[in-house]
Amino acid sequence: MKKLLLIPFMLLTVLSMAACTGGENKSFFPEQPETPEQPDEGDDNNPDTPTPGGNRRYLVLYASRTSNTERVAQQIQVTLDCDLLEVEPQTPYDNDYNAMLERSQEELATIRQGNYPPVKTTMDNFDKYDIIFVGYPIWYGSMATPMQTFLHEHTSKLAGKQIALFATSGSSGISSSASEARNLCPDANFVNQTLLLTSSTLPQMETRVTEWLDKIGIEKKEPETPEVSSLDVNIIVGNRTITATMEDNAAAQDFLSRLPLEVTLNDYNNITEKIFYPNPTLTTEGVTRGCTPAPGDITIYAPWGNVAIFCKNWSHSNDLIKIGRINGNGIEALNIAGDIPAKFERK
Ligand SMILES: Cc1cc2nc3c(=O)[nH]c(=O)nc-3n(C[C@H](O)[C@H](O)[C@H](O)COP(=O)(O)O)c2cc1C
């Protein structure tokens, strides 16, 4: 039986070699993996939800039996920080290599009759994706059957979508399977350049993927620069503007979130402090307490909830929370007896 199976297989191999592109003219014969890999069962609870990336414009769909295509898919996913979904057969492939070959041939034959072997992966829609990367291993010159089924079952949903094909193989080319993909999704728009990694080019996967993405003009994910909101504020007192730098703690952030803020600064303790009462009081939860105030320090006196800007040195208090400091000698503008109208605004 096995010998009989090998004859059409070898014929197919020869045929697939004829379809090789890119000068990959080594003869191919699938080798039995030393350790047959267990099929990845995936997340049984929610098999059809892509693993989300930061960039939700791209989806990488892939089928893979021995992880080669999976590695390429993951490389694309990491490079673009995009969504990833494995297309899995309804029944996992046998670990017995010959049984697997037999089944794959049978499946390819049934596909030629128009019957597609079931897969357990489905997608509701692809609406949010600009480009869908579709990756698969080459089986006997063809697209591996699970991906053929998936494309067949999602033909209408993929209509009008951009599809970029990638594949791995021992040595065969991708062109026959690319034609299959076009036939399976006649209304999709296929990116002209495909990516094929063979057993000899797979070790250069990282470079090849980057080059390919560049070539097809995919916008890579920019490293996320967290929005740094400035800690700098202006304090307008009369016709003078002084500046202060707030601390990076929750109380200071709460204060910053309320700007612009107009207040009246009152004297406290013979102009040791100029104070005002924010309403509501500023959050102090989780903020380190304790401060030995120096002129220019902006603090909260936690028991009363007032903001105290120190004009003079004062002794340490565990109830004071520092939320900022007036820059330079700007405190001089506040070191005046009486009520002072002041406006705090972001710089
Ligand atoms: C059933 C079967 C058929 C294959 N047919 C071919 C082929 O025609 N040409 C080729 O170059 N490689 C062929 N291969 C090798 C695979 O394409 C190659 O190992 C691929 O990288 C496997 O991808 P995967 O690890 O993602 O499953 C075949 C492998 C299997 C299991």
Domain count, the chain: 2
CATH number of the domain encompassing residue 180: 3.40.50.360
In ligand 1, the atom with minimum distance to the C-alpha of 199 is: 21
User: Nearest 5°: phi and psi at 282?
Assistant: -75, 145
CA of 140 to the centre of ligand 1 (A): 7
Does residue 89 sit in the same domain as residue 51? yes
Sign of the alpha-carbon dihedral angle for 97, 102, 106, 109? positive
In ligand 1, the atom with minimum distance to the C-alpha of 16 is: 8
CATH number of the domain encompassing residue 241: 2.40.100.20
In ligand 1, the atom with minimum distance to the C-alpha of 197 is: 21
Does residue 98 sit in the same domain as residue 210? yes
Residue carrying the six token digits 């009008």: 160
Q: Which of 215, 250, 272 is the last residue of a domain?
A: 215
Question: What is the extent of the structural domain holding 89?
Answer: 41-215
Does residue 79 sit in the same domain as residue 193? yes
CB of 314 within 6 A of ligand 1: the answer is no
Does residue 274 sit in the same domain as residue 183? no
Sign of the alpha-carbon dihedral angle for 72, 73, 77, 78? negative
- pLDDT tens sequence for the chain (347 residues): 444 444 444 444 434 443 333 333 334 455 555 444 444 444 444 547 788 877 768 999 999 999 999 999 999 999 999 999 999 999 999 889 999 999 999 999 999 999 999 999 999 989 989 999 999 999 999 999 999 999 999 999 999 999 999 999 999 999 999 999 999 999 999 999 999 999 999 999 999 999 999 999 987 655 555 556 789 999 999 999 999 999 999 999 999 999 999 999 999 999 999 999 999 999 998 899 999 999 999 999 999 999 999 999 999 999 999 999 999 999 999 999 999 999 999 98
- What 3-state class would DSSP assign to 211? helix
Centre a 10 Å sphere on the Cβ of residue 221 and count the other Cβ atoms it contains: 16
Q: Which of 184, 215, 246 is the last residue of a domain?
A: 215
**Can you give the C-alpha Rg of the chain in angstroms?**
33
In ligand 1, the atom with minimum distance to the C-alpha of 101 is: 1
Q: Which residues of 9-45 are buried (b: 16+ CB within 10 A; e: fewer)?
A: beebbeebbebbeeebeeebebeeeeeeeebeebeee
CB of 176 within 6 A of ligand 1: the answer is no
> Which residue is closest in CA terms to ligand 1's atom 3?
139
The pair of structure tokens assigned to 292 is 């030995």
Contacts of 107 (CB under 8 A, 6+ apart): 117, 145
Does residue 194 sit in the same domain as residue 237? no
User: Nearest 5°: phi and psi at 297?
Assistant: -70, 135
Does residue 200 sit in the same domain as residue 237? no
pTM of this structure: 0.59
Q: Which of 156, 183, 215 is the last residue of a domain?
A: 215
CA of 43 to the centre of ligand 1 (A): 25
